């Protein structure tokens, strides 16, 4: 029959932003994180960014540097520091 099948999970993973430690990006801090001094922002694809020392920057866009990327069952989390 020649019917092609597309795996939606494969498509979503192909479209997600790939960030590596050391890369720089700007993010808006939208809320305070769970741990002391953390701020949280999100990429356009919904990936969570945890920003060290971002707790007092809620509502602001900050320049950050990626420190660590963790893949969990809930998705990808990216840990960043504010660029100095």
CB 21 within 8 A of CB 32: no
For 23, the token pair is: 């890369």
Question: Does the pLDDT value for residue 78 go beyond 90?
Answer: yes
- The DSSP result for the chain, as a single string, is -------HHHHHHHHS----TT-EEEEE--EE-SSTTEEEEE-TT--EEEEET-GGGTT-EEEEEEEEEEEETTEEEEEEEE--
Confidence band, pLDDT 50/70/90 cuts, at residue 59: very high
Average pLDDT value over all residues in the chain: 89
Average pLDDT over residues 16-26: 87
């Amino acid at each position: 029959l020649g019917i092609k099948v597309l795996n939606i999970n494969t498509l979503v993973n192909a479209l997600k932003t790939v960030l590596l430690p050391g890369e720089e990006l700007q993010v808006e801090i939208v809320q305070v994180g769970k741990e002391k001094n953390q701020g949280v922002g999100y990429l356009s694809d919904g990936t969570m960014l945890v920003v060290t020392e971002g707790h007092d920057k809620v509502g602001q866009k900050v320049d950050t540097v990626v420190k660590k990327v963790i893949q969990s069952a809930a998705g990808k989390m990216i840990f960043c520091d504010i660029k100095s």
